[in-house]
Amino acid sequence: MSLVMYHAHMYHALPFAGPVLMIAVWIVQLVIAFFIYRDAKEQKMLVPVWVILAILPVFGYLVDVLYLIIRELRTARKTVNPPVSP
């Protein structure tokens, strides 16, 4: 049996799994990008930059984690010296 025949035989049951998985992963990235859009707008951050970076394949998930880290650091920095109420 040749290598080509073996390769074709191995994946005959789920020929749609690759494209379906790719579309599902991209839809998840779009949903995350939407939430980043709403939150970045509320936080007065650079919305277009964050959304474009969040949509990028594979790299987008790293940007999502980076966004969460930066967002938390910005929030913590704002509340270091809270105003004292009289």
Whether the per-residue pLDDT at 5 is higher than 60: the answer is no
Q: 13-72, pLDDT tens digit by residue?
A: 566 677 888 888 889 999 999 999 999 999 888 999 999 998 887 788 898 899 989 988
- pLDDT reported for residue 20: 82
Tokens of 4: 């080509």
Whether the per-residue pLDDT at 85 is higher than 80: the answer is no
Helix (H, G, I), strand (E, B) or coil at 80: coil
Cα gap 74→68, rounded to integer Å: 10
Cα gap 85→65, rounded to integer Å: 35
